[in-house]
Structure 1
Amino acid sequence: MKRSLFFMGLVIVNLNCFAQKQINIELKQKLDTILRTDQGIREFVSSTTTVGRKDTLAKFLNYPRQLLDTNAWVVMRTIDSLNLIKVEEIISKYGYPGKTLVGEPANMTVFFVVQHSGKIPVYYPIIAQAAKDKELPFRYAGMMLDRKLADEKKEQVYGTQVYRSSIKNPKTGKKELFAYVVPIKDPKNVNTRRKEAGFDSTVEENALRLGVVYKAYTLKEIEEILNR
């Protein structure tokens, strides 16, 4: 009898473990859709997106192509606002929906939506915890930390954030675009930190990908340049 009860106990434990590993399909599908809209509108505005691909994206996003051609940035703000409402409801119910609950890449959805919102200070702690728990790749928490610090006019840690500002050329007196990597804390060791965090490129390579030649400015140097 004791042996039978022991066996039944093992079965119950195994069933519970199996249940805990089950993906929430309904939630996953919802997050997949949110992620596609978040990334889709950004792909639409990319200069490298082909005409045919833009037609496909417009159809998926359910916006007239002509409207997107003229007001894509306005549409992006609308999509971002709606997506934020959705993910805040999800967070309030489930906490951070990580890899265990919704699989990949749905586990990245909340990160992207929050990253594109004004609520990074509110949700960064739960995203950092999700990364610590391996429910989200750690580099995403690193990217959000960098954006949080940059928004606070502080040095970033991993060098992921690039800013662009209009400044006056001291020689010509004309306005021109100045693009730069936001100053980094301990820049000499940034690529070591990037590697440890899971980034697959150096700060120099990442900057070039974003159209900027990396230079290790200090906060004071940037302030002086922007206030010319």
Structure 2
Amino acid sequence: MFKLIYTTLLIIGLVLSTQAQSNTPDYQALKAQLEEVYKTDQGVRRNFMKVYRKGPKDPDYQRLTKKMHKTDKANLKAVTALLDQYGWLPYSKVGQMAGDAQFLVIQHSSLEMMQKYLPMMKKMAAKDEASKYNVALMEDRVLMNLGKKQVYGSQARSLFKKGQTKSRLFIWPIKDVKNVNKRRKAMGFTRTVEQQAKDMGADFDPNEPLPEKVKD
């Protein structure tokens, strides 16, 4: 009887050990997969930037826009599957390129996706396992898409004013703007919001109001 119990417990132990091993992430494989995602995400955008000034009627513009959307859709499916299974993969396990691939794909997706996965990235960033700078970028983008003032001044928007034929590029309105550069520095920004605006060729008005159509 004792021998039977011992054998049964041994088998259960082996089964549980095998299950634990199968659930342990293969970080090298995940690193390789995410690095490929990073390359495709950035590659299609580099090519698009070469033609975007031609405008949406240009055949190359149209072709690369379609390719970018197709790439983003495939990358989003792959990355969200990993995030849902493993959570936000840390730098210490997959490296910076693979870690940042997660950010890029979610940043290039919908508001719903950003809202879902931003908390995961924030937790990793608090442990220095993800980029605080990237957290700031996504947080600002979420707020802008919700029609609210941003925190770090990282996002700009191009809008047409009524009766004008040329759009205006401007830094999206900022909450507590007098302290924005302190917040930026804490999150890893190397430029002030004023410097960023100048480099982008964007208007920066500390008193910029929210556009009428997105006011609360």
Match of 2:115 in 1: 121
SS of the equivalent of 2:202 reads: coil
RMSD: 2.5
1:176 pairs, out of 166, 174, 177, with 166
The 3-state SS of whatever aligns with 2:206 is coil
8 Å Cα contact 2:156/2:170 also seen in 1: yes
CA deviation digits over 1:60-117, x for unaligned, max 9?
A: xxxxxx9755421121111111100000111122110111210122111111100000
Residue ranges of structure 1 left out of the alignment (5+ in a row): 1-21, 50-65
Normalised by the length of structure 1, the TM-score is 0.73
- Quick one: distance in 1 between partners of 2:74 and 2:166? 34
SS at match of 2:43: helix
- Cα–Cα, structure 1 residues 29 and 45, in superposed 2: closer, same or farther, change >3 Å? same
Residues 99 and 67 (structure 1 numbering): CA distance in 2 closer, same or farther, change over 3 Å?
farther
Q: Which runs of 5+ in 2 are unaligned?
A: 1-24, 53-57
2:46 pairs with one of 39, 43, 52: 43
Contact 1:155 1:182 in 2 (8 A): yes
- Matching residue of 2:22: none
Shift >6 Å, 4+ stretches: none
% same residue? 32
* Helix, strand or coil at the partner of 1:167: coil
Distance in 2 separating the partners of 1:208 and 1:73: 28
Q: Give the AA of the match of 2:203.
A: V
Structure 2 equivalent of residue 212 of structure 1: 202
- Aligned pair count reads 184
2:31 to 28, 31, 34: 28
Asked if the contact 1:204–1:213 (Cα under 8 Å) also holds between the matched residues in 2, the reply is: no
Q: How does 1:58-137 map to 2 (within 5 A)?
A: 68=60, 70-118=62-110, 119-137=113-131
